Amino acid sequence: MIKSSKKEYKETVLNIIGSIFIIVGIAAVINAIYLKDYAGILWFCYSGLILLGISILKRNSYLLAAQLNIFAIPLVLWTVDFFSILINGQSLFGIVGYFFLKGPVIGKIISSQHLLTLPLSLYALHLIGLNKKDTWKLSFIEITALFIITFLITPEASNINCIYKACNNFMSSEFYVLNLFALSFSMILITAFFINLFFLKDREK
């Protein structure tokens, strides 16, 4: 009876989290279309939310962990910067200032997902469990494809996915693209290491 209850709880929670991610991701895309910001559809935080939702609903921990490898550190930086502005009125990393500017409320509601995406995703991964440790490979493929597509079809002025210039105050403009790739791949490897350390069910796999 207790096992059945735990299983029902697990399934319900995963379905709720996965559905929330997909709904918010689709809402973000629709909002970008409504604002005629067609390039903005390619922001990875939008498609990434949908991929997170699909991976959770499908109970695919490999796909879920691959997204976390890409998202985790940027989300931590976003959250720290958000509370830095909220509490001290100053931005540490120059990331979240846009959130506090005047603008449509719906955009701010969608953007606030940055605060909950990481903890909800990690809890979902805990419930599903991880059986493979090479998730960084899929993360590398995804981030490379994302950068190439963004370069090819979005204007420089839009700076989607921070491809053309830094969206923070700690990256130099010198050799920016090279540094962006190096930083992205480094963050993926660091995150994958810790995810494997804490979530990998079978260390032999």
pLDDT digits (tens, 9 = 90+) for 7-34: 999 999 999 999 999 999 999 999 999 9
Percent of the chain clearing pLDDT 90 (strictly above)? 90
Q: Across-strand partners of 200?
A: 130
Write the CB contacts of 125 (distance below 8 Å, at least 6 apart in sequence). Answer: 61, 64, 65, 68, 195, 199
- pLDDT tens digits for 123-150? 999 999 999 999 999 999 999 999 999 9
Indicate yes or no: pTM above 0.75.
yes
| C-alpha to C-alpha distance for 122 and 129, rounded to whole angstroms | 10
